[in-house]
Chains A and B, each alone.
Chain A
Amino acid sequence: MDQVLGNIDLLFQFPVVNVKILMDGLMIGALFAVAAYGLALVWGVMNVKNLAQGDFVIAGGYVSWWLAQKGLPPLLGVPIAFIVLWGVGWVLYKLVISRVIGRDLFTSLLATFGIAIMIAQILNLIFGSDTQSIKLPYDTLYFFDGFVDVPIAKLIGVIMAATLATGVVVFMKKSRMGQAIRATAQDPRAARVMGIDTEKVYAFTFSLNSAICGAAGAIIVMVWLIQPFYGITYSIRSFVIVTAAGLGNLPGVIAAGLGIGALEQYGAHIFGIGYQQAVAVLLLLLVLLVRLAQQRRNRQVLQ
């Protein structure tokens, strides 16, 4: 308890700490938001709750890391990871996901959980269980007497994440495929009647999701580090963010992503870093309670 109070005290004693915590939180949050956006897409369009979300992220990270080992510039790893994971997503869709769409919740959870374990173990067999990261040859910017540090690598990562998110949004709004995806999300039967090949839409959506995750992973390996079994942390956060923001609410997903990033950092500072993830899960619980209360009120109004 003393430690918690001491930590809160530090926040007021050194106000600049808040800037640092917020900066770190927003940078992490941006990447959470990207992965969560992919999940919102798959969940919203196909009603598949993808537990392998985080493992796609880690797989993308390994693609990029492996290329960097082979001497390719690490920044190139982001688009390549996008393309490779697109392929992985497509294959997985054809092999597994296409068979569980339309089945009950439990089937799709089990199937994607199986995929998650497979990916983690395959990565472990190929690359080993050591942690890996890419160190970019860029400097770090310092503000406030060197107290707030912003590695240029992180900045590049955030910019790439933002570009990726914008690209996807524009694509969903403007392109024919984007329109088809949105139509399928609204009502798959009506979409089929209108001549939309929903099977193709599903395959495309799932591949797009895993590609987005792959690119996010390629950014993460430049900024933090990856390990074959780290997928679950990104899966959990994606679920928290999508649940908090609601499906099909893109600004909400981004806001929730940034918010969770910042809140986690505050939680880590005040309660100790061991409770960082607890903060995210606690938040999920709160959101669910609020949602429940809201629904109850609505029902009462309806009655």
Chain B
Amino acid sequence: MFQFRKSLTVAAVATTAMIGFSGQASAMDCGEINLGSAISLTGKYATNGIHAKNGYEFAIKKIKEAGGVKVGDKCYNFKVTYYDDESKGDRGATLAERLINQDKIQYMLGPYSSGLTKAIAPVTEKYKIPMVEAEGASRSLFNKGYKYLFAVLSTSEQYLASAVALAAEMAEKNGQKSSDVKVAVAVENDPFSLDIRAGVLDDAKKFGMKVVIDEKLPRDLSDMSAILTKVKLLKPDVLIVSGHSKGAATAVRQIGEMKINAPMVAVTHCEAADVTGKFGKTANDILCSTQWAETLSYKDPIFGTAAEYEKEFKATYSEYAEKKVPYQTAQASAAVYVYKDAFERAGSMDKEKVRDAISATELDTFYGKIKFSEAGNNLAKPMVLRQIQDGKYNVVAPSAFASHKLNWPRKAE
């Protein structure tokens, strides 16, 4: 009730202001563009859901400080209505219906995880509501012919495929053939990790490599010694593990305990699992894939460079002061930026025009280049591989952005 009254007052003030100084747009009398998002504030995705929400809010604040979104001769600020989807797909879909039907939201920001995005995308598609999402990487989102779904991040089959290319490169450097490389893959049995597996297997096949281990991890993994025992016996040249943060934590812990000395180990979700903090030296020389790193040389006029983004974000959200700003946050901010850019180019509040403007996006951001394919995924930004060197994450691939040299072979601690 209080909120309602407050917004009434704000509206009244805004109207008076507009009558009073017609045409004189200043930050004070900017209108509002309402965005909506069902996001995981509780449940198993809560940690990353909150990272994403903070990313959205930070971007909104930065855009406001930079004068808001200019559509025609008016200015607007974003405002997001959030609902908690409890990390459940059916809940997410219901909430999306509610945002669109009851709250009359015309533009959506994505939820967290591929699974939730998959649940919500059919709803937004049905009502022809554009959704720019930043946290759903599964490639199966982009073969359904969705017209209103756009993703700023790289799709998941690219996550660890570069590790395979890197292994081939190292083999050739050491006088072997790339087809001699043996690959071991252990991924969780969920859409996201299966995409990663598909990308790795595709690339391994391209090089003619042999896949010696190909296993699926259970959802509630806390012990993978069975797989690591096989790694010891079959001696693969590269070990690929993807199982969200539990996969990363279990793998790093047991690789240390069992003294696994595969020359290359590549994992997803290292930062989320805080492997350096939890396992110290054991985590050294492990490769981690990431969508974004603050050391990359990208920049834009709103957020500045990647490094500046990190610094300012930490200053705004003190709970991140002690840790790294996760890429989940950066890409969420980038999604809001895409909306700003699209509204300004569309020069209109018409939903279809905005949709077409999003589709035509060609934007350099602190998060990387954004240019959507016909299917709605972003093909302009590469995945980055970082290696943990003395407890620090250093970019080692792709070589165009590499700040450090790869330690190879990995030394077992």
Contact string against B for A residues 204-237, beta-carbon threshold 8 Å, 1 for contact and 0 otherwise? 0000000000000000100011111110110000
Q: Which residues of A contact B226 (CB under 8 A)?
A: 21, 24, 265, 268-269, 273, 276
- B411 CB, min distance to chain A CBs, angstroms: 15
CB of A52 within 8 Å of the partner chain: no
Chain A contacts for B227, CB-based, 8 A: 268, 273
**B261 nearest in chain A by CB position:** A146
Interface segment out of the listed A80-88, A126-134, A177-185: A126-134
A151 touches B246 (CB 8 A): no
Number of interface residues, chain A, beta carbon within 8 A: 43
Using CB atoms, name the residue of chain A closest to B227.
A273
CB nearest to B280 among chain A residues? A135
**With an 8 A cutoff between CB atoms, is A171 at the interface?**
no
Contact-residue bracket for chain B: 35 or more
Contact with B along A7-39 (1 / 0, CB 8 A): 100100110010011001000100000000000
Chain B 4-44, CB within 8 Å of chain A: the 1/0 string?
00000000000000000000000000000000000000111
Contact A135 B278 (CB under 8 A): yes
Contacting pair B215 A224 (CB below 8 A)? no
Task: Find out whether the CB atom of A14 lies under 8 angstroms from the CB atom of B189.
Answer: no
Q: B215: which A residues are within 8 A, CB to CB? A: 272-274
Contacts of B42 in A (CB 8 A): 121, 124-125
Is A149 engaged at the interface, CB distance under 8 Å to the other chain?
yes
* A121-B42, A224-B222, A230-B222 known; A133+B253 contact, CB < 8 A: yes
Is B46 an interface position by the 8 A CB rule?
yes
Interface residues of B in 82-109 (CB under 8 A from A): none
Nearest chain B CB to A77's CB is how many angstroms away? 16
Contacts of B217 in A (CB 8 A): 273-274
Q: Say whether B258 faces chain A, with CB atoms less than 8 Å apart.
A: yes
- Beyond A10-B233, A130-B245, A230-B222, whether A149 also contacts B259 by CB under 8 A is yes
CA distance A29 to B227 in the complex (A): 18
Supposing A21-B229, A230-B220 touch, asked if A129 and B43 sit within 8 A by C-beta, the answer is yes
B176 at the interface (CB under 8 A from A): no
A131 adjacent to B245 (CB under 8 Å): yes
| In the bound complex, CA of A228 to CA of B43 (Å) | 9
Q: Which of A149, A220, A230, A273 contacts B224 (CB 8 A)?
A: A273
Chain A nearest CB from B33 CB (Å) reads 31
Contact assessment for B216 and A274 in the assembled complex, using a CB-CB cutoff below 8 Å: yes
Set of chain A residues within 8 Å of B257, measured between Cβ atoms: 140, 149, 151
Chain B residue with minimal CB distance to A154? B257
Contact A225 B249 (CB under 8 A): yes
Q: 0/1 per residue, B258-301, Cβ < 8 Å to A?
A: 11000000000000111000111000000000000000000000
Complex alpha-carbon distance, A130 and B248, angstroms: 11
Collect the chain A residues with CB atoms within 8 Å of residue B216's CB: 272-274
What's the least CB distance linking B47 to chain A, in Å?
5
A222 to B246, CA, bound (A): 15
Q: Please measure, in the bound complex, the distance between the C-alpha atom of A224 and the C-alpha atom of B45, giving whole angstroms.
A: 21
Residues of A close to B274: CB separation below 8 A: 130
**Are the CB atoms of A133 and B233 closer together than 8 Å?**
no
Q: Which residues of A contact B250 (CB under 8 A)?
A: 131, 224-225
Q: Give the Cβ gap from A76 to chain B, nearest Cβ, in Å.
A: 20
A277 located at the interface, meaning its Cβ lies under 8 Å from any Cβ of chain B in the complex: yes
Contact, CB under 8 Å: B218 / A124: no
Interface residues of chain A, those whose CB is within 8 Å of chain B, are: 3, 7, 10, 13-14, 17, 20-21, 24, 28, 121, 124-125, 128-131, 133, 135, 140, 142, 146-147, 149, 151, 220, 224-230, 232-233, 265, 268-269, 272-274, 276-277
**Residues of B participating in the A interface, judged by any CB pair closer than 8 Å:** 42-47, 186, 189, 214-218, 220-227, 229-230, 232-233, 245-246, 249-250, 253, 257-259, 272-274, 278-280
5 A–B contacts, CB within 8 A, in A order: A20-B229, A128-B46, A265-B226, A272-B215, A273-B216
